[in-house]
Structure 1
């Protein structure tokens, strides 16, 4: 006889069976609740905010269950001492009866530029009150008229902008200026934007830990600057400031092809205030000196960097350095009408990789294997005779045992060069990075030691917010590839690839991938910036670029790639609870939607589509794109379905943005589009769309286009198509794969989704890992297809897989009316063949955990719900059903029979 029973344990302080509403005593010596992870404008360490009304957010850490916030109070002061005395001379919100803890606007006195402000947050909860530690932020320039600096730069005879090989070669610029401070320094703040990239020094000290700064933008529309508190670096008396400028994306790395914005240039303003109140401003102007014959020579992201140690200039950024041979800087054209403080975090060295092996080839080169396809560069201890030229060349895979595979890098040279100065040195390039696993080292007279080499992993400074592990090795390997692929394509923008001569912000690659990535990384500010980047590509005719920022001019006037503009804005609202990006973009989005409506044909169908269901698995291993018409979803099907999806999103956006009059507009446009789509493409006699591809049917289902009562028939065609040849495999491209895993599971065939997730034969994610992938490939057949397009680090083919890992296998989701996980929905799917899942996600409200294991017919599930949230918990039962219960915050353990 089989029995079904449920036991529940509350794992907070004393364990209590079934005590879902009990409040246990906190652990001895620990407060019941604490205010943690306070943030200003979304960042945990805010520097250079030029927003007059920054937003405050925080999390609550509770040691007792069922904690809800009942009120909050925010105090802002000019010093931490005032706050410790309970005083706030700039703003005191007063007690606000509310459970809000995300994005509370500052409403105090006007903020001054270059000033550090201090804040403290008090939260009153059902478990008592708690006060945060004192936090702080530094303001940028609050008024554009405060800029006294001029853009400076100039050309040099060594500049080669457009040689025959189309590789731009511009040496790094070195700029400097001496200055004197007459009194004791009270504060010093540096505002700087060096284009394309910069490194700044004051009195020989490097400023900040950022690399490849500032963040990339549409340079003809706006430029970002960074703000630094440099009080410790500036001193009374003689001082010097020095800046090195690299090329970055500001320079056209390929002419023609890439857009170029001009030669490197600098805008910098150092404001020093002494204890007697006097202020000295050192701003870029023609009194600065510059040169272009220092050690950092040719540099760009595609081709690498050349460093000539024989040209080093000891002390060049110290006061009194002899710069008489340097030339006077020139005033140059302002690149953009807007200079804004950069809110999204800078790029930094975030991790390191130790090389796995190195060996010598017959001709004296060395081949090194990092063991992981990574993005960044090498730090290496070197020794050579004066003039020795040491080269490092990078690739994702090997052609044969002694040769790198270079064809998939196209024209990128990916070579770093170091010219020795006859002394030991540790070197790391400054203004380049590579996507690589293997490195060819040449010019070395002795074999480098692995202990002397470190792989430096470079991506945006953001917290890792998710962990995920299962009992299935294929799922774990693919998740590993996803993590490394996502981080490798975050560099101030989300890019398509990190290794070849492209590395662009293609919109379609992140339309759904941004959702999955939001479980793993706190990419909030990165994607908020990217929504603005997309907006700034909009032309007068309302069309937006397929790439943002617009480094290639690709205005294809299609629907499916610009769809990411809308879905990423929706993701920010849903996953982070931040509606500001969509509210700011609403009117430009509306213009584009109305423009697309004008592209309807006489039957209400949008016929134009450029990319189709990009990169579906082809029928032959050497092909990039399928040529079989029965496998290809036609463009009008995709474009019209996508337009309907956008109408539904805009209906929601209109309500959020306060454009209530527009709600009816989007409802009517959606109704017309849906009716036209079904008239033209739905075969009611057969129960499928158009030519019955999986993509056409699954998108119609997932995006709400299927006529009432017809969903089961359409889904039946999806299943029939996927199982016709035996074991189901992926048969969708970029668009279909964005919905396939969730679609299969929601319509009752999670077993097929699990098969897709664990397959190891072609085409599948597991096939990639079985063939040596440590990041996700661009093509399902990336090991055999034409090298012109087989990047080894592309994340577009992940589709909704990472979302499925977290929301379906681990069960971490939220209810439809929730934003930022204020009301969580926990519902794990327990597929046959999987014995455990452990997952965590730090949401804007705090840590969510879901850990389950299956032991025979019993399921043991532990889950954590953060303070000030509630959860709808769906507990698995026999027969695949769920017992839904409601919980407050806390950690719980459930044991239940599931079969």
Structure 2
């Protein structure tokens, strides 16, 4: 092994010298670094080429080679030399039996330089045929009222005394599962060699159509002789309240297969069958997505070790339900993300209340102890400790405590504190206590029963998650609280976007947006992470999708979610409001169902991923056929349904107006998509359709060159989707939109859909000053009102909380403080403020539309209390490498620009001159300053 390592080092040094700065990095298979269990027989290979910022350099050609051994001496496939600058290719059909493959990329640039990447690897999954002998074993769902232990299953098996060449475990479940072998919880090595765990396996999917399986490399865990495998099951997204309307709270189930190949090429396998045992003796007494976890540390996982003689085991029952399809897990794993871990900023211990003349009074504070992770403090029976983590986050707490065996700690979670203890402010407890009213029926409760270790014990849950900033803790008897940390849990997505500017409130807004996305990207793109919802709302997803792609690598995450969405599409073509189907939601609503077209288009334009267009094209056309069937006596082009309209807007707008605008938009996108995919007839058909929709729109909503609907969103949608006919129409709409905003004190009134296009439309139609006016507004409704009132994530509503009035009175039960939809302004920060635009005809930023729009307002034009933004900078990772943009105003008022154009890319820089004219300049790869 050491010789191989030295040989690779020597080769790498030689290549680095010969390439003179050219490197090939970021090798991914189906979007993942060194993945386990690749399910696609033809994986997609991607990579990044870097050149040190030299100008005018691009990839001339590439070759991908796949090998069966790490020495790269046995090649099983080659792409051969391919001309062009693309950084992805479709791989070959490969054996799906847990085989490990090794691969590398060779790239040549236009300067004649060659570079070979380091070797990477991936492990294939298993074909459906391989499950033929395995049986689904039954597990019991957990009830809140009867927390008598999660189902655990186990099997002792014997391996003959031959050298093991490779061993794989393939495991699947209906419900959340964990697997153990020889007393060890199974995880995997990440690309840096750390042993990590995938949490909440195997995620949220449409179980009606496909059940995912996970792959584990157990080569170094299985030993000669006796071995023990164990599994634990909880409700998850299958049998909990979160999907009760879909699956009706059925039994849980588990299936697994252990595949072993020996050095003499012989094979053996062990599968789930009626020789397995079942029990409820594990430490997890209860686990549910909405309601939390109960954990008894007096129990342990000894039952997963060889020779364990614990009592109560019975023969496992076979699951009697039907499972239609099993497929390899796809998408980013859900993991603890240690780089975002939060520490406690303040501890408040209280007992009893003080009368303040309000409904509940105020908490009676006894102490504010320090939490240093060493000595800790004693939480007495009858007291409540509130831990403020300083950041609204998603995940769970890691507790370190010391106390008697059997002592029970109970934690509740909230995003905010009750502000004055009154019902008038929609409080649900004394001022200063943790506010939980907005969780609705989600119990979101963590119970931990101590085992009584005198040295202390550390625990975090694994069967649930919470959205919270504050933890409220009580104990059944005196216990010592040594430490509490906030472990962030979410999709393992690379977050590479950066943004900052001269205004600290805007910087905080950007961080709030990132934290909302981070918390709601957990297996699927959820609306909120705390209440009894946490669903993949399609409208929220589509409006935020481009903003998300600027901040993080969303390609695989969205491709996985699009599979969920397709599986939920109705036979007539209608698209659901949520995917996978869940507790709430309907079908066929404008701005929501249109996600089936908008999200794939966004991913394509941001990553040059034609596969996502091809995968979804049939579903898109099916949806368009359904839209075309929605006619009435008066009009032929109505678009989708009108249940939501411009959701949560401060001004009313006819939902049908919204649906017609979106209909025209998706017709345009279908024409573009058809061109990209090389369709012959569809582009003309969809272009004709979009023209007809717009013509009818003008008959319905335009009289005498003026729109009949006068809300901010009405103007924004008409302008952004090009619904008007002539220059007079557009000039009137621009003028009236400006008047609407100015007369409203430079405050917005838009809802989810209007907000998505508000600032981009203003910048597009030469009203960039108003975009800055709205961004920097601090009065409600505005983005910075939230920031200035302590928000650390994006609120669901513009008036989720109002100073002097408390929490929203009218919709307290739909009042999340972690809802990324209105964070769509991040797209404007990147695309308009910094000018980092994609060219839809040359996708993936292969050609960049570089049109920064600095804050050019004069001092006399600034609304009261605002200051001009004097500099801004940001960056993100394109498929071809890092792209950065910066502008800065000097003391004389001149704007200076600095850009870095990624390898393989070119840009057209639209520079605004002092005279107001726009001068286009062509830029090649490299660093530029003006």
On whether the aligned pair clears a TM of 0.5, the verdict is yes
Does the CA contact (< 8 Å) of 2:346 and 2:388 recur in 1? yes
Partner of 1:878, secondary structure, is: coil
CA distance in 2, matches of 1:202, 1:447: 33
Does the CA contact (< 8 Å) of 1:202 and 1:241 recur in 2? yes
2:469 aligned with 1:429, yes or no? no
1:462 is displaced (CA, Å) by 0.9
1:256 is displaced (CA, Å) by 6.0
What is the aligned residue count? 837
CA distance in 2, matches of 1:112, 1:886: 47
CA distance in 1, matches of 2:242, 2:178: 24
Match of 1:52 among 41, 46, 50: 41
1:541-563 deviations in whole A, cap 9, x for unaligned? 22221110001363343222111
CA distance in 2, matches of 1:255, 1:265: 16
Mean CA deviation greater in 182-191 or 495-504: 182-191
Does the CA contact (< 8 Å) of 1:70 and 1:126 recur in 2? yes
1:684 is displaced (CA, Å) by 2.4
The equivalent of 2:647 in structure 1 is 614
The equivalent of 1:540 in structure 2 is 571
1:143 is displaced (CA, Å) by 4.3
Does the CA contact (< 8 Å) of 1:250 and 1:260 recur in 2? no
2:520 aligned with 1:489, yes or no? yes
Does the CA contact (< 8 Å) of 1:219 and 1:261 recur in 2? no
Does the CA contact (< 8 Å) of 1:698 and 1:740 recur in 2? yes
Does the CA contact (< 8 Å) of 1:759 and 1:767 recur in 2? yes
Does the CA contact (< 8 Å) of 1:184 and 1:235 recur in 2? no
CA separation of 1:891/1:29 partners in 2, compared to 1, >3 Å: closer, same or farther?
farther
Partner of 2:524, secondary structure, is: coil
The equivalent of 2:102 in structure 1 is 118
CA distance in 2, matches of 1:879, 1:193: 65
CA distance in 2, matches of 1:489, 1:461: 12
CA distance in 2, matches of 1:700, 1:508: 19
Of structures 1 and 2, the one scoring higher in RCO (CA 8 A, sep 6+) is: 1
Partner of 2:691, secondary structure, is: helix
The equivalent of 2:308 in structure 1 is 321
Match of 1:785 among 805, 808, 815: 808
CA separation of 1:287/1:28 partners in 2, compared to 1, >3 Å: closer, same or farther?
closer
1:733 is displaced (CA, Å) by 0.6
Partner of 1:739, secondary structure, is: helix
Match of 1:743 among 733, 740, 761: 761
1:222-301, aligned counterparts within 5 Å?
222-253=210-241, 257=245, 259-260=247-248, 262-301=250-289
1:206-260 deviations in whole A, cap 9, x for unaligned? 2111111102111111111111212111111211111111210111326965643
CA distance in 2, matches of 1:870, 1:817: 13
CA separation of 1:168/1:695 partners in 2, compared to 1, >3 Å: closer, same or farther?
farther
Match of 1:873 among 888, 906, 909: 909
1:420-819, aligned counterparts within 5 Å?
420-423=450-453, 424-443=456-475, 452-552=483-583, 554-602=585-633, 603-606=635-638, 608-617=641-650, 631-685=651-705, 687-688=706-707, 690-709=708-727, 710-725=729-744, 727-783=745-801, 784-786=807-809, 787-799=812-824, 801-819=825-843
CA separation of 1:95/1:304 partners in 2, compared to 1, >3 Å: closer, same or farther?
same
CA distance in 1, matches of 2:16, 2:55: 12
Partner of 2:85, secondary structure, is: coil
1:375-431 deviations in whole A, cap 9, x for unaligned? 000111111212211111100111154421111111111110011222231111110
1:250-273 deviations in whole A, cap 9, x for unaligned? 113269656435222111111111
CA distance in 1, matches of 2:764, 2:142: 57
Does the CA contact (< 8 Å) of 1:220 and 1:261 recur in 2? no
1:285 is displaced (CA, Å) by 1.2
Mean CA deviation greater in 146-155 or 826-835: 146-155
Does the CA contact (< 8 Å) of 1:737 and 1:798 recur in 2? no
Partner of 1:511, secondary structure, is: helix
1:805-837 deviations in whole A, cap 9, x for unaligned? 111112212223121111122221110411111
Q: CA RMSD in A?
A: 2.1
Match of 2:880 among 816, 827, 845: 845
2:195 aligned with 1:210, yes or no? no
Partner of 2:872, secondary structure, is: strand
The equivalent of 2:920 in structure 1 is 884
CA separation of 1:196/1:398 partners in 2, compared to 1, >3 Å: closer, same or farther?
same
Structure 2 unaligned runs (5+)?
1-14, 188-196, 353-382, 419-429, 802-806, 858-867
Structure 1 unaligned runs (5+)?
1-25, 618-630, 895-899
CA separation of 1:401/1:840 partners in 2, compared to 1, >3 Å: closer, same or farther?
same
1:322-471, aligned counterparts within 5 Å?
322-323=309-310, 325-333=312-320, 335-350=322-337, 351-363=340-352, 364-399=383-418, 400-423=430-453, 424-443=456-475, 452-471=483-502
1:324 is displaced (CA, Å) by 5.3
Does the CA contact (< 8 Å) of 2:578 and 2:585 recur in 1? yes
1:103-142, aligned counterparts within 5 Å?
104-107=89-92, 110-127=94-111, 128-142=113-127
Does the CA contact (< 8 Å) of 1:201 and 1:242 recur in 2? yes
Does the CA contact (< 8 Å) of 2:243 and 2:583 recur in 1? no
Does the CA contact (< 8 Å) of 1:838 and 1:851 recur in 2? yes
CA distance in 2, matches of 1:668, 1:520: 36
Does the CA contact (< 8 Å) of 1:252 and 1:258 recur in 2? no
